[in-house]
């Protein structure tokens, strides 16, 4: 082998290794047949029972393929149910990997409607529901509940009763700030929905992003949302501009949340925009508009 060729081969190999996308899938055991599936920033849960598996958000084709193989290799049970948390593609694409005559796909009716309307490239749900639905698998019960608008369309909570574990995607985040300008969020709806799920009997919370938490962590997240909403509303009522509100809000008790510095101004801007548009404060005659 020519030395120069040898070096070039080594360099090529080095670059290939360097440029190969790092797959960072993980499976973490939770409790009593429940597992968390992690795909980089996204998370879902799945349940393994003697009667089969229940999979929640499949994320995307690559992640779902990896997950399906892992379930086959580690547990060797058929996937009985695939449950979508809501309508957004970054959580529910890749479901075709689990498509099988014996697998039932479930979503809230508003998520299903949106999947159909936008021709989303995933498996159309076989079963939809309006308010809530109780699923049983093995000795497990999973309660799916719609709490009204909060994020996207038809976003539900999933309560794994035996494990006292609640899974919610996007509208509750533990250990991190809500996403940037709160795109697609209904802020009042998030507050209402979070208040409702706090009445549930659960000890562990798993979100579609960020950390696993306790019921207390969820309550603290709700406190952040409420204070953010109320401080921005007060600022808007006082005729302050979004820049003035960004400078005056005080939410420093939450400065341990990841991305606090970078995303607090964006969170403020997101709430301000909802107040101006959805609440119609932008054209209310009794609210003085910023100069």
* Cβ density class 183-213: b for 16+ within 10 Å, e for less: ebbbbbbbbebbeebeeeebebbbbbbbebb
Q: Which stretch binds Zn ion (CB under 5 A): 67-75, 166-174, 219-227, 282-290?
A: 166-174
Tokens (6 digits) for 160 = 């794994």
Least Cβ distance, residue 122 to Zn ion (angstroms): 15
39 binds Zn ion (CB under 5 A): no
Answer for the pair 92, 56: CB distance below 8 angstroms, yes or no. Answer: no
Stretch that binds Zn ion, among 46-54, 168-176, 213-221, 234-242 (CB under 5 A): 168-176
Cβ at position 238, least distance to Zn ion in Å: 33
Q: How many CA atoms lie within 13 A of 163 on its CB side?
A: 27
The site that binds Zn ion (CB under 5 A) totals a number of residues, namely 1
Note whether 170 binds Zn ion by CB under 5 A.
Answer: yes
Cβ-based nearer residue to Zn ion, 184 or 279: 184
Within 36-143, residue ranges assigned H as helices are: 61-74, 89-92, 109-117
Q: What are phi and psi of 213, to 5 degrees?
A: -145, -175
Which x/- pattern over 111-150 shows residues binding Zn ion (rule: CB under 5 A)? Answer: ----------------------------------------
| Residue among 109 and 180 whose Cβ is closer to Zn ion | 180
For the CB of residue 57, give the shortest distance to Zn ion in the complex, in Å: 9
Residue 143: CB minimum distance to Zn ion, A: 22
- Tell me whether residue 62 or residue 284 sits nearer to Zn ion (CB atom): 62
Would you say how long the chain is, in residues? 291
What dihedral angle (degrees, nearest 10) is formed by the CA atoms of 171, 176, 182, 188? Answer: 50
Closer residue to Zn ion in complex, CB, 170/217: 170
Answer for the pair 156, 108: CB distance below 8 angstroms, yes or no.
Answer: yes
Question: Which of these segments, 109-117, 170-178, 199-207, 251-259, binds Zn ion (CB under 5 A)?
Answer: 170-178
Separation between Cα atoms, residue 56 and residue 36, nearest integer Å:
10
H or E element, residue 148: none
Contact stretch for Zn ion (CB under 5 A) within 27-35, 167-175, 249-257, 280-288: 167-175
217 binds Zn ion (CB under 5 A): no
d(CA 108, CA 124): 11
Positions touching Zn ion (CB under 5 A) are 170
């Amino acid at each position: 082998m020519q030395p120069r060729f040898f070096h070039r081969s080594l360099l090529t190999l080095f670059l290939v290794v360097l440029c190969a996308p790092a797959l960072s899938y993980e499976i973490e055991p939770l409790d009593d047949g429940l597992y968390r599936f992690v795909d980089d920033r996204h998370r879902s849960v799945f349940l393994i029972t003697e009667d089969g598996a229940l999979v929640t958000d499949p994320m995307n084709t690559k992640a779902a393929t990896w997950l399906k193989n892992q379930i086959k290799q580690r547990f060797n049970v058929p996937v009985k149910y695939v449950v979508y948390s809501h309508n957004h593609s970054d959580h529910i694409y890749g479901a075709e990997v689990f498509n099988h005559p014996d697998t039932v796909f479930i979503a809230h009716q508003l998520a299903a409607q949106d999947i159909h309307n936008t021709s989303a490239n995933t498996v159309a749900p076989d079963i939809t529901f309006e308010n809530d639905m109780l699923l049983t698998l093995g000795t497990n019960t999973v309660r799916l509940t719609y709490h009204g608008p909060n994020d996207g369309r038809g976003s539900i909570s999933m309560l794994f009763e035996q494990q006292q574990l609640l899974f919610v995607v996007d509208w509750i985040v533990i250990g991190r700030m809500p996403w940037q300008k709160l795109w697609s969020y209904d802020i009042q709806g998030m507050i209402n929905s979070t208040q409702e799920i706090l009445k549930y009997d659960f000890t562990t919370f798993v979100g579609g992003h960020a950390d696993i938490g306790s019921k207390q962590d969820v309550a603290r997240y709700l406190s952040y949302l409420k204070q953010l909403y109320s401080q921005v509303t007060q600022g808007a009522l006082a005729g302050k501009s979004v820049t003035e509100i960004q400078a005056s809000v005080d939410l420093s008790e939450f400065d341990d949340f990841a991305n606090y510095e970078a995303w607090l101004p964006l969170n403020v801007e997101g709430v301000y925009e909802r107040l101006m548009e959805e609440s119609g404060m932008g054209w209310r005659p009794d609210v003085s508009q910023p100069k």
